[in-house]
């Protein structure tokens, strides 16, 4: 990787697409992609509850190319490479860096505007693998739900598993509070078991009993 190619992005230039725009752009993508993070919570709850700084989607690591192919004319960057707060154009990221990062930022070339953050997730065929604990696995048909308009989103218990790391942030705690009454008993149990593996003793565990 060329160290000089890395730079600190201007995050004030985020003007992310909405989930429905992503669904339109990736309508022909066969990889099991889905809206992740905060937008997934809002899609589950049926409408936008708060502002979102960006839009994150997730896709199996070895099928990232299908997403990028659908975005011809845009620029792609490995986020967090070679270190926190930096991005590196994918064409300058070496093989080791490509294996280590999990976020690809998408930028509109002409205007320099950031549009999308793509999470690269480990997977084994039709099985999703949690990137924080490989023992946590699910078939993709248990990972992805869809809105009435057909927008794919990550099921809330899976999204909350990743949000738990940042439970001190108001938005992540608010997402947990908003979803908790809607979680069926089996989904509460799954989240509690997964939290016990990834974040033993987490403060949310008592609320999931």
Sign of CA dihedral 93, 95, 30, 41: negative
Q: What are the structural domain ranges in the chain?
A: 3-154, 156-209
What pLDDT, on the 0 to 100 scale, is given for residue 4? 61
Q: Are strands 56-60 and 113-121 parallel, antiparallel or unpaired?
A: parallel
**pTM (2 d.p.):** 0.94
DSSP structure class, residue 18: P
What is the CATH T-level fold of the domain 3-154, as seen in this structure?
Answer: Beta Polymerase; domain 2 (3.30.460)
Residue corresponding to tokens 């967090």: 80
Report, in this order, helix, strand and coil percent for the chain, each rounded to 5.
40, 20, 35
pLDDT of the chain, 209 residues: tens digit per residue: 445 689 999 999 999 999 999 999 999 999 999 999 999 999 999 989 888 999 999 999 999 999 999 999 999 999 988 888 999 999 887 767 667 789 999 999 999 999 999 999 999 999 999 999 999 999 999 999 999 999 999 999 999 999 999 999 999 999 999 999 999 999 999 999 999 999 999 999 999 98
């Amino acid at each position: 990787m060329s160290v000089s190619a890395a730079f600190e992005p201007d995050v004030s230039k985020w003007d992310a697409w909405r989930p429905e725009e992503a669904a339109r752009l990736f309508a022909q993508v066969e990889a099991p992609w889905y809206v992740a993070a905060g937008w997934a919570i809002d899609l589950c709850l049926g409408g936008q509850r708060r502002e979102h700084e960006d839009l994150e989607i997730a896709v199996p690591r070895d099928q990232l190319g299908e997403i990028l192919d659908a975005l011809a004319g845009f620029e792609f960057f490995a986020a967090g490479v070679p270190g926190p707060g930096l991005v590196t154009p994918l064409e300058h990221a070496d093989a080791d860096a490509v294996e280590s990062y999990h976020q690809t930022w998408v930028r509109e070339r002409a205007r320099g505007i950031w549009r999308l953050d793509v999470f690269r997730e480990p997977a084994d065929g039709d099985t999703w693998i949690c990137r924080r604990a490989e023992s946590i696995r699910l078939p993709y048909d248990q990972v992805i739900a869809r809105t009435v308009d057909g927008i794919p989103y990550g099921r809330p218990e899976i999204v909350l598993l990743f949000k738990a790391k940042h439970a001190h942030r108001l938005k992540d705690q608010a997402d947990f509070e908003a979803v908790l009454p809607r979680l069926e008993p089996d989904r509460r149990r799954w989240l509690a078991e997964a939290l016990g593996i990834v974040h033993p003793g987490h403060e949310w565990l008592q609320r999931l009993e």
